Amino acid sequence: MAGLGKAMYAVGFWIRETGQALDRLGCRLQGKYFFHEQRDANIIQIGSGTNIQDNSLIHVAKSNLSGKVFPTTIGNNVTVGHSAVLQGCTVEDEAFVGIGATLLDGVVVEKHGMVAAGALVRQNTRIPCGEVWGGNPAKFLRKLTDDEISFIAESAANYSNLSKVHAAENAKPLEKIEFEKVLGKKFAHQDEYDSSIGVAEGAPPELTSPNPAQ
């Protein structure tokens, strides 16, 4: 039974690895938009380098009061905070949508625009480049500083890098993950241990390889 379990684990791991590799290849082949979903009502497009955080809802509607149905289009290197709701709107490249914000039908957030946390942006509102809007209903608050505009792109890059670390961690075999947990506990009191990559600087070879013979 132990041999069968190991064989099933190996097959499952191979399938997951193959699926992840095919997904990455597909994203590269798609070009500008890494995600494009065709719905009965309309489409959802999400650009490359964009991060959509936990509990966010991206939606299109079949009808609204204006009689128009808008797609939801999110550009490149956009950050959408936790629990945001995006409905039939457009968020251009390097824009920022704060935690819990709601963007309704026809909203356009221009490049380098920022929607503050918890804001409700009403239908057909346009948030110009370099401005912060907040409140319920959302209104112009102030202009973004140059540092804040730079932060938007930096934030997206940080989340993109984090996703790569997460993907690499999930691709590890179970034996390696368990080994790194043991190694992490052993070096928990030392600053030299980097838990993100499972390496302890200066550690002897027998502690940095699951198989000392390798």
pLDDT level of residue 5 (50, 70, 90 thresholds): low
157 domain-assigned: no
156 domain-assigned: no
88: left (phi > 0), else alpha (psi -120 to 50), else beta? left
The answer to whether residues 48 and 15 belong to one domain is: no
Half-sphere exposure of residue 179: CA atoms within 13 angstroms, side-chain side: 17
Query: Domain range holding 22?
Result: 1-30
164 domain-assigned: no
* Spatial distance between the Cα atoms of 2 and 139, rounded to a whole number of angstroms: 63
More confident site: 145 or 207: 145
The answer to whether residues 12 and 1 belong to one domain is: yes
User: What predicted TM-score, i.e. pTM, was given to this entire model?
Assistant: 0.63
Strand ranges (E), 139-183 = 139-143
Pairing of β 51-52 and β 102-103: unpaired
Mean of the pLDDT values across residues 42-52?
Answer: 88
Domain count, the chain: 3
pLDDT of residue 157: 84
Q: What percent of the chain has pLDDT over 90?
A: 38
The answer to whether residues 141 and 195 belong to one domain is: no
160 domain-assigned: no
Render pLDDT for 84-114 as a digit per residue (tens, 0 to 9). 999 999 999 999 999 999 999 999 999 999 9
Kindly report which listed range (52-56, 141-145, 181-185) carries the lowest average pLDDT score.
181-185
Q: What CATH number corresponds to the domain at position 53?
A: 2.160.10.10
The answer to whether residues 55 and 71 belong to one domain is: yes
The answer to whether residues 38 and 126 belong to one domain is: yes
